[in-house]
Amino acid sequence: MVSSPGPTSGTNSEPSVQPPGALASPPPVAPLARAESTSSISSTNSAATTRQSTRSCVCCSRGPSPLTMGAQDTLPVAAAFTETVNAFFKGADTSKCVVKVIGEMVVSFPAGITRHFANNPSPAVLTFSITNYSRLEQVLPNLSCCAGDTKNFWVNMPNLITHLKKVSEQKPQATYYNVDMLKYQVSVQGVQSTPLNLAVSWRCDATSTDLRIDYKYNGEAMAAPTALHNVQFLVPVDGGVSKLQAVLPLLPGVGSLLARFQLTSGPSKPAPLAVQFTSEGSTLSGCDIELAGPGYRFSLIKKRFAAGQSKEAEGA
């Protein structure tokens, strides 16, 4: 769907971009919604926004927790990997594509765990390992809660218990609390690391502007190919847009989006085009997590990525 709200127009592609052959479009999902149950991850920041390097514990919660545990029970925790891809394309020359992928790993604790810690003040240390680590670089643990060497990490339990106790007193109706554990950067290989490749061409004259957006889904950029949801192309068009005609592509995986803008005070000036999308169920890095000690179990491991600043430079 393409809209023209005036001199600035956003060009939106409603169908999900999916792997070739996957023509059935799953229902759109809210961008990076993290929590649906007591074992889910709740979002405090959108992955479509570049993360700040704050290293404090971050938490979010809702509703009372039903967790009741014995001293010898394994405690349920959840983890989520969220990655953001930033890409800058320059025309059809893929060698000029600049890509950066950053990520974070969050662990979610059920609120009832605070009562367990109160009754068991010396719990097992939560230790974990990051697997499929080869594409990660600049891995930064949250030093207020976590420490580690290379791929293996352990939680500072006194700090964690103190933090969770404080939050539980502030939010007694909480369901669970999220704690940032790691931030990292992903090693990339130019355009091959972008899940959606772009090329844009403009033709501008005094009365109209023609815009063509060529796109191609790139499943090889992901650890496991998954659909891109809520794909939107955003571009400002000046020159007094009075009418818009658009031809939408029939196939979601690869194609061209064509738009003609009728102008009252042209010509337009080509401008950078931005693209937004989200994806659930996979990451670009392929990394994973496993527990390295007793006392805990994963009730959920969630993976997602989204476009941060994916742009196509203006072309002629």
Residue 172 lies in a domain: yes
* 249 and 292 fall within a common domain: no
Beta carbons within 8 Å of 301's beta carbon, 6+ residues apart? 78, 79, 80, 81, 288, 289
* 171 and 223 fall within a common domain: no
Is the sign of the CA dihedral 106, 107, 112, 117 positive or negative?
Answer: negative
Residue 238 lies in a domain: yes
CATH for 229: 2.60.40.1170
Higher pLDDT, 81 or 72: 81
- Work out the average pLDDT over 100-120: 93
Q: pTM (2 decimals)?
A: 0.76
Average pLDDT across the chain, whole number: 79
* 168 and 196 fall within a common domain: no
User: What's the pLDDT score for residue 72?
Assistant: 59
Residue 143 lies in a domain: yes
**CA 165, 166, 167, 172: dihedral to nearest 10 degrees?**
70
Residue 253's region, left for phi above 0, alpha for psi from -120 to 50, else beta, is alpha
Split into its structural domains, the chain has a count of: 2
User: What's the pLDDT score for residue 292?
Assistant: 94
* 175 and 287 fall within a common domain: yes
The distance between the two most distant Cα atoms of the chain, rounded to a whole number of Å, is: 76
- Work out the average pLDDT over 18-28: 37
Residue 59 lies in a domain: no
Higher pLDDT, 313 or 234: 234
Q: Residue 239's domain spans which residues?
A: 9-24+191-279
Residue 2 lies in a domain: no
Residue 66 lies in a domain: no
* 245 and 199 fall within a common domain: yes
